[in-house]
Structure 1
Amino acid sequence: MLTHVGGLAVGVESPSVALGASLLLALHRRLSGFRPLASLSPRLVAVIGGAAGLGAAFRSPLLAVAYGLEELGQASGLPLVLPALLLAGSGTLLATTMGQPARLPGLDLGPLPPQVWGWAALLTLVGAAGGALLVRLLLPVAAVVKRLLTRQRLVGALLLAGGLTLLALVSGGLSLNDGSLSLRAALSGEAVGSPLLWLWRLLASVLSLALGAPGGLMHDSMTLGALLISPLQGLEGLGPTALAQLAAVGATALFAAAHGCPLFCASFVFTLQCDPGLLPLLLLVSAVAAALGERWRGEGWNEHQLQGLLDQTPGAAPSSR
């Protein structure tokens, strides 16, 4: 403080890192019996504290995470980060006039107004539960589908195709991969149809993923999360802007709970809307939902698939982690 008051040529970056790291290291030393802290190495504690101090000083959680990853990844992380940045950057330049749009057409949303905070908290909890439900349904259904197609391939294929066709008919086609229309509409503040669409979409997603259709959880979980706003349509005080904001909250929560990568999930939904005013909320929602989802869903879909591959591969690594 005295250095800054004296006008010396220094910034607040290093002091905020040093103060954050010192505070967390002191807590780590004093609260040695507190298991979550005691299980961390002093280096990791210092980096976490320093990153938190920097992020708080600049009001940027992403800045904090980027700093922490660079500090911890100087030996092993940068060989991954730098090539990924180069390739992704080059790909972005080449894809500016083709492929997926940089953002969905929508509204200038801005920060969530206080009168909608309650709905955002509720959608975070519901989205986390929905993400856990998606994975908990998917694992046993995938096992049943595998047995069915192994024993009665033709009959099983006809039953599954008939089920997907029926879901497409009752949902007006929105249970198919055109569910992106629902995601686009929700994140843009447009109407998303009946709440029953969520059920049809959930069943179609579970069947499609259980069949081994290429795609994964990302699109389906974001679409299901965005569709959580369907019962809120028409409520007083929830206009198109508020509904679009809440759709982003729902998409982030269900995605993070099912997938388990909070920074990535929040960044993905943010990329679709590109609204900086909503990013801090999405990061918070993603962190809460991912923590709840880890408790509620049990084994993840990606881990389940990887374990199945290891168990079927001769000479693979042991199944225990």
Structure 2
Amino acid sequence: MKQLFAPLRRRFTSARWRTRLTLWIAATVAGLCVVMFARLADLALALFAQITSGCSWLALLLTPALGMLVVFLTRRLFPGSEGSGIPQVIAATRLSAAGKPVSGLVSLRIVLGKIGLGTLALTGGFSAGREGPSVQVAASLMHAAHRFLPNSRVIRVQDMILAGGAAGIAAAFNTPLAGIAFAVEELGRKLETRTSGVLLSTIILSGMIAIGVQGDYNYFGRLNAVADSRAIILPVLCLGLLCGVLGGLFSRLLLMPQRNGQHAVWRWRSSHPVWFAGICGLLVASLGWATGGLSFGSGYGVTNDIINHGQSIPWYSAPARFLATLATYFSGIPGGIFAPSLAVGAALGGNVAQLFDLAAQPIIALCMAGFLAAVTQSPITSAIIVMEMIDSHGMVISLMAVALIAKAVSSRLGPELYQQLALGYWRRRQRQQTDAVSATEPAKAQ
């Protein structure tokens, strides 16, 4: 009997299977952490709504105060956890490929900061999402798991980080297919053949964990849109151009601190980050107060009402969300732009449908995919995310088309947002490491 099971026992105790088990356990933990983050974000948004219900002026005090607190804690205790998280993951893959340390960009410390401070920022009503932060959270967990592999050379560190980032998208949006597309299109641009199967399985497993815990739901319900037809060609072209221009402008504005760092505003921001966060928080609160709360939070609630309940929204909803998201990003809090970008696209689509008396749901879906693709310049990922979130596979061709058109227009207005931001993190880490080496050389000489 022992001889009969000996080959099977050797197979499951081999380095290959121990590697797979390590990766799958890490993917499970990553999926559970992303789900926990989602639950905490929902509680934070509900708490903010409860606090400001009937006393909307409280946001003028709460939002700036929490923004200042979050930025203070971020810079003091959790540097590297600010912003979206996706640029940090991209930079970490590049640094690890060059053999450089990446603990300042992906680590267990950053997991705590990203979830805790990201949740606290949403309690203040900031226009931020949790999807980008979920990418950094999952990538950090997978990076930490690399040390437990039986043979660390079997899978490269950068591949672990890449797989973790994609698993974060899969779990955050409940769309494993979008996670795979994101891994190829945005994070890594390529996967090694020898490890792609195992790494893709971790992405799928993380997404399945999210589905198992939260149920097989669609993020914004089911959109009853018509299938692709010739009638959709003209709207696709027009909306692709519109979303490309607006999304490209949005992306270009987000890059202003990096591109124009010597401007007086951004120099003052570098010198007084906490006070700057307070000013940004006051701007976010003022926009939310003036619009009746339409620009507060991640935008899930408003977007869900637009898609599933046909709620008409005023013309200023999209511009207010646009500006609130810019102010939130400039503040330096941990928070992403995926969900707010989808909310801007949904509001824009609702306004266009009302203005031209068109069927609302297809136009909303097209604008969501188009605006997100223009901002991120990741058209395939954007189309898949929207298609999976609203469970409208009949629109796959039109969603892909509008995303590709919007990306083409946006690329004429500026570079890829995440890649450019990642370049900033990469250069900053290189300077820090160079300075550290320069500081140690005199000591050695003495």
TM bucket normalised to smaller: 0.5 to 0.7
- Paired position in structure 2 for 1:54: none
Of 78, 98, 105 in structure 1, the residue corresponding to residue 221 of structure 2 is: 105
CA distance in 2 between partners of 1:110 and 1:211 (Å): 41
CA distance in 1 between partners of 2:206 and 2:320 (Å): 38
Provide Cα deviations, 1:131-161, integer angstroms capped at 9, x if missing partner: 1111111121575765333334564344222
Do residues 289 (structure 1) and 406 (structure 2) align? yes
CA distance in 2 between partners of 1:309 and 1:219 (Å): 23
Do residues 135 (structure 1) and 247 (structure 2) align? no
Matches for 1:191-210 after TM superposition, within 5 Å: 191-210=311-330
Provide Cα deviations, 1:213-268, integer angstroms capped at 9, x if missing partner: 33322112111112112433445652xxx211111100101101111222211111
Do residues 308 (structure 1) and 402 (structure 2) align? no
CA distance in 2 between partners of 1:248 and 1:172 (Å): 24
Q: Taking structure 1 as reference, are residues 154 and 252 closer, same or farther at Cα in structure 2, changes over 3 Å only?
A: closer
- Paired position in structure 1 for 2:170: none
Following superposition, the deviation at residue 288 of structure 1 comes to: 2.3
CA distance in 2 between partners of 1:282 and 1:230 (Å): 16
- Say how many residue pairs are matched: 243
Work out whether residues 106 and 189 of structure 1, in 8 Å CA contact, stay in contact via their aligned partners in 2: no
Q: Secondary structure at the residue paired with 1:222? A: helix
Q: Taking structure 1 as reference, are residues 172 and 141 closer, same or farther at Cα in structure 2, changes over 3 Å only?
A: farther
Q: Secondary structure at the residue paired with 1:177? A: coil
Matches for 1:37-116 after TM superposition, within 5 Å: 74-96=193-215, 101-112=217-228, 114-116=230-232
Q: Taking structure 1 as reference, are residues 185 and 77 closer, same or farther at Cα in structure 2, changes over 3 Å only?
A: same
RMSD: 2.9
Q: Taking structure 1 as reference, are residues 191 and 113 closer, same or farther at Cα in structure 2, changes over 3 Å only?
A: farther
Following superposition, the deviation at residue 116 of structure 1 comes to: 4.6
- TM-score normalised by the chain length of structure 1: 0.66
Provide Cα deviations, 1:10-55, integer angstroms capped at 9, x if missing partner: xxxxxxxxxxxxxxxxxxxxxxxxxxxxxxxxxxxxxxxxxxxxxx
Q: Taking structure 1 as reference, are residues 75 and 294 closer, same or farther at Cα in structure 2, changes over 3 Å only?
A: farther
CA distance in 2 between partners of 1:160 and 1:237 (Å): 36
- TM-score normalised by the chain length of structure 2: 0.49
Matches for 1:247-258 after TM superposition, within 5 Å: 247-258=364-375
Q: Taking structure 1 as reference, are residues 79 and 290 closer, same or farther at Cα in structure 2, changes over 3 Å only?
A: farther
Matches for 1:176-215 after TM superposition, within 5 Å: 176-188=296-308, 190-215=310-335
Provide Cα deviations, 1:59-83, integer angstroms capped at 9, x if missing partner: xxx9xx99xx8x9853343232122
CA distance in 2 between partners of 1:294 and 1:236 (Å): 28
Q: Which runs of 5+ in 1 are unaligned?
A: 1-61, 317-321
Q: Secondary structure at the residue paired with 1:188? A: helix
Shift >6 Å, 4+ stretches: none
Q: Secondary structure at the residue paired with 1:105? A: coil
Q: Taking structure 1 as reference, are residues 113 and 213 closer, same or farther at Cα in structure 2, changes over 3 Å only?
A: farther
CA distance in 2 between partners of 1:235 and 1:126 (Å): 14
Matches for 1:139-178 after TM superposition, within 5 Å: 139-140=255-256, 143=261, 147-153=267-273, 155-178=275-298
The residue type equivalent to 2:234 in the other structure is G
Q: Taking structure 1 as reference, are residues 236 and 255 closer, same or farther at Cα in structure 2, changes over 3 Å only?
A: closer
The residue type equivalent to 1:123 in the other structure is L
Q: Taking structure 1 as reference, are residues 237 and 134 closer, same or farther at Cα in structure 2, changes over 3 Å only?
A: closer
Of 218, 221, 224 in structure 1, the residue corresponding to residue 344 of structure 2 is: 224
Q: Taking structure 1 as reference, are residues 157 and 75 closer, same or farther at Cα in structure 2, changes over 3 Å only?
A: closer
Provide Cα deviations, 1:109-150, integer angstroms capped at 9, x if missing partner: 231454454233211111111111111111215757653333
